[in-house]
A and B are shown apart, each in its own frame.
Chain A
Amino acid sequence: MKKKILVANRSEIACRVFQAAREMGLATVGIVAPGDEEGRHVTYADEVIEVTSYLDIQSVVAAAQKSKAHLIHPGYGFLSERPAFARAMEASGFGFIGPRPETMELLGGKISAKELAAREGVPTLPWAKVGVGEDILERAKTVGFPLLLKASAGGGGKGMRRVDSIEGVFSASESASAEAMTAFGDGTLFLERLVEKPRHIEVQVFGDGNGHGVHLYERECTLQRRHQKVWEEATAPHLPEDVRNQILEAALKLVRATRYRNAGTVEFLVDSENHFYFLEINARLQVEHPVTELVTGVDLVHTQIHQALDPSQVVLLSSPSLRGHAIEVRFYAEDPAQGFVPCAGKVARLRWPTGTGIRVESGIEEGQAIGTQFDPMLGKLIVSASSRPQAVERMRFALEETVILGLGTNQAFLRALTLHPAVQEGKVDTGFLERELQSFLLSPSDEDLQLLVQCRAKEGKRGAHPSESIGTSRQDAMKSPWFSGRAEGARS
């Protein structure tokens, strides 16, 4: 009997795993939550089971039991990093594709992860926890300036303050502590050094679960908006060889120390002087894994599944050699001009690009209605080339060849990125997109307007004769594409 794999996820990542599974001769099981019936992954799976929500552990476990799947792939986001989910699946006898639940727990805690890194000699940003009444000035001096002062309890921006010097500590801490007390009932503060204009560099790792692991080099994901990655590449440009080797080795130390199992990503911040600091470990497959696949030739999802099928086998013996450069961009249904609010609409026309060095991971189909209930990512466009400059040019070409009609997307914004000198040179920091946003927003030129007005007028006349009408019918009229709402399933 064919082995079965259930993918506890939706959209493009579910389709990505289905591809690997089918190539390997496995049967595929998808899940679908209310509101997502039109999702592309629903068409793609051999079998589909309804769940109440992609976040409902019991419902997803029940789907796995009903389908009699052998393996569970969690994808990213949703339940992928919930120890309780991995534990429930393993307790029910399913093979969970990812690290052990204990590893997730250790890495999921901000402080426990930092303490682990410190024990292993991996640099972390200096930090300190200060209880009410404790000597904050002394701790602040040890952390160094500038620093970020925030509530120890809870997350988000509540009670978060930037402090530039020792003089500012006392007043900032008083108000932050009072705010933390009101918001969380706990005035304990967390101090952390602030890195100015950092780069985000991460290492793809793969562990055999017994203390052996390999890295698959680094990715740079510095271009972000609202703390979400937009453009990712492998490998990182302008990273001195010795720094890079130190970062790769630091990542491996953490893999060995945790006896890490399966694929993971160790994230670092790198400052302008190339000092690097451990941020966190993402205990799952990343959205941006394709760029690593393209420069290493390793199929990460195949490797994940191979290991889960036979845990005693070491699937990756050593780091592969590198070839060329790869870049990924994420298509979001959002409006960059309106603070990146999600857009809803119907995909009236869809044409992904083809050509040398172009890879597409699509989460949508033509005719599909896109709401704002789920994450606004529509798919990913990935290019590879022999050099970084050529990859940037190829990305521009691929973006120009892509057509998504019917809803607002960040496509033009992405294309504008490929034309920006700082992006072309690979010299950016994590605040770049938000600082430079205005330069990426286009207004139509008079030439553009003439073309559009004339084409619209001509096609409008054709539309009077249905036989000559192009595209989908007029009944497929769009819903307002400029609609904001909330999305389910955050991830990075």
Chain B
Amino acid sequence: MNSVLKIAGKKRIVSSTATAGASEKMEVWTFTHRPGGWILGQSSTGRRTKLMLQLGHEGGRGTFTASVSGTLWHGEWTQPDESSTAAAEESQDSKLVAQFPGKVRKLLVEKGLSVKAGDPLLLIEAMKMEFTIRAPYSGKIEKVFVGEGQQLSPGDRLIDMEELTDAAQTSSDI
């Protein structure tokens, strides 16, 4: 799943798989609710911080704003995780969603094709520029929702992918 964090208009893409990859250095936070609307975070490395968070929806995307020590963070992610079930979270990982309005210029993959992380999937034209949408992980194209020339709105589903995890690869080797 890709989260796009945006601060004061600047975007940064965070992939949850990349975060997990850095597991040795990763701080694990636990959160408790405090009176006054504060959320108190305590990390595995001993840090303690209070913050406020607001979740919302916008054009099919999940949004949040968080206030931590005087800094306002505005975040968006490709799919709102409304459900707490693991299945729902997994399915979010397999979808690619339009982030901004635009037009599909070229489709580079089709259903059933296997791709590697970083492979270009399609080209989108927006604001007179061309953007390449790449595979966030290695996997198989499950479904293509868009065609060349199609107009896109933020939140439109583009492609569903089935992720090939290490486990899946191992099992297929056997």
Chain A interface (Cβ < 8 Å from any Cβ of B): 335-338, 348-349, 351, 396, 399-406, 408-409, 411-415, 441-444, 446-461, 463-465, 470-472, 474, 476-482
A477 pairs with B81, CB closer than 8 A: no
Q: Which residues of B contact A (CB under 8 A)?
A: 3, 5, 7-10, 12, 14, 16, 19, 22, 26-29, 31, 33, 36-37, 39, 41, 43, 49, 51-58, 62-75, 77, 80-84
Q: Which of A400, A401, A443, A470 contacts B7, CB < 8 Å?
A: A443
Q: Which residues of B contact A447 (CB under 8 A)?
A: 27
CA distance A349 to B3 in the complex (A): 23
Contact A402 B70 (CB under 8 A): yes
State whether A399 touches B70 (Cβ < 8 A).
yes
B58 touching A478, Cβ below 8 Å? yes
User: Is B29 a contact partner of A443 (Cβ separation < 8 A)?
Assistant: no
Q: How far is the CB of A237 from chain B (nearest CB, A)?
A: 23
B37:A349 contact, CB within 8 angstroms: yes
With a cutoff of 8 Å between Cβ atoms, the chain A residues found around residue B8 in the complex are: 335-338, 408, 412-413, 441-442
Report whether A441 and B10 are in contact in the complex, using a CB–CB cutoff of 8 Å. yes
Rounded to whole angstroms, the CA-CA distance of A408 and B26 in the bound complex is 29
CA distance A414 to B72 in the complex (A): 11
Is B58's CB under 8 angstroms from A477's CB? Answer: yes
- Knowing that A408-B74, A461-B84, A471-B37 touch, tell me 17 more A-B residue pairs with CB under 8 angstroms: A337-B9, A338-B8, A349-B67, A405-B66, A405-B67, A415-B69, A449-B12, A449-B19, A451-B51, A454-B28, A455-B39, A455-B53, A456-B64, A456-B66, A459-B53, A471-B52, A472-B54
**29 cross-chain CB contacts under 8 A:** A335-B8, A335-B9, A337-B7, A337-B10, A348-B54, A400-B70, A401-B70, A403-B67, A411-B72, A412-B7, A413-B8, A415-B71, A444-B5, A448-B73, A451-B49, A451-B51, A454-B28, A454-B31, A455-B39, A456-B64, A460-B55, A464-B84, A465-B84, A470-B53, A471-B53, A476-B56, A478-B54, A478-B56, A481-B65
Return chain A residues, CB-CB under 8 Å to B37. Answer: 349, 351, 470-471
Chain A residues near B77 (CB-CB < 8 A): 456
Interface pair B9/A455, CB less than 8 Å apart? no
What residues of chain B lie closer than 8 Å to A474, measured between beta carbons? 55-57
**Contact A338:B56 (CB < 8 A) given known A406-B65, A412-B71:** no
Which residues on the B side are within 8 Å of A348 (C-beta)?
54, 56, 65
Chain A residues whose CB sits within 8 angstroms of the CB of B73 once the complex forms: 444, 448, 452
B68 A404 Cβ-Cβ under 8 A? no
Q: Is the CB of B74 within 8 A of A470?
A: no
- Cα A128 to Cα B80 in complex, Å, equals 63
Q: Are A455 and B52 in contact (CB under 8 A)?
A: no
Do residues B27 and A460 form an inter-chain contact, with CB atoms below 8 A?
no
Beyond A464-B82, A474-B56, whether A452 also contacts B72 by CB under 8 A is: no
**Closest Cβ of chain A: how far from B155's Cβ, in Å?**
12
| From B3, B10, B72, contact of A404 by CB (8 A) | B72
Chain B residues with CB below 8 A from A461, complex form: 81, 84
Residues of B within 8 A of A449 (CB): 5, 12, 14, 19
Q: Are B53 and A409 closer than 8 Å at their CB atoms? A: no
Assembled-state Cα–Cα distance A457/B10 (Å): 21
Contact yes or no, B70 A411, CB < 8 A:
yes
A-B pairs with lowest CB-CB distance, top 10: A477-B56, A400-B70, A337-B8, A461-B84, A415-B70, A412-B71, A403-B67, A405-B54, A399-B70, A348-B54
CB distance from B84 to the nearest CB of A (A): 4
User: Nearest chain B CB to A258's CB is how many angstroms away?
Assistant: 43
CA distance A453 to B5 in the complex (A): 9
Smallest CB gap from B8: residue in A: A337
Hey, which chain B residues are within 8 Å of A406, CB to CB?
A: 54, 65
What's the Cα separation between A349 and B72 when bound, in Å?
12
**Considering only CB atoms, which chain B residue lies closest to A456 in the complex?**
B64
**Given the complex, which residues of A lie within 8 Å of B49, measured CB to CB?**
451
Residues of B within 8 A of A401 (CB): 70
A413 CB contacts on chain B under 8 angstroms: 8
- Cross-chain contact A405 with B12 (CB below 8 angstroms): no
Bound-state CA distance A458–B82 (Å) is 11
Give which listed residue, B62, B66, B83, B84, contacts A455 with CB less than 8 A: B66
Cross-chain contact B36 with A453 (CB below 8 angstroms): no
Find the residue from B10, B36, B74 having the highest chain A CB count within 10 A.
B74
For the complex, what is the distance from the CA of A401 to the CA of B80, rounded to whole Å? 29
Residues of A within 8 A of B65 (CB): 348, 405-406, 478, 481
Given the complex of chains A and B, what is the CA–CA distance between A476 and B69 in angstroms?
Answer: 24
B29 to chain A, nearest CB (A): 5
